[in-house]
Amino acid sequence: MIFKSSTYLRKDYNSISKLAHEKAKPVYITKNGEGDLVLMSIDAFLKKGSNH
């Protein structure tokens, strides 16, 4: 699992986007030390069998 803080997301979105695309895995975003969001590339999302 890949964890990054919401502060890191605000400061360096491009780095997190690149990481999500390269690893093709979800990136878990934390806020105040707690889980808040899960980000992943659209390609990885579609490969997971989503109907979206």
Average pLDDT over residues 7-15: 96
Q: pTM higher than 0.85, yes or no? A: no
With the C-alpha atoms ordered 14, 1, 44, 36, is the resulting torsion angle positive or negative? negative
Structure confidence at residue 52 (pLDDT): 52
User: Per CATH, is 2-47 categorized as 3.40.1620.10?
Assistant: yes
Average pLDDT over residues 14-41: 96
Using alpha carbons only, give the angle 7, 18, 11 rounded to the nearest 5 degrees: 20
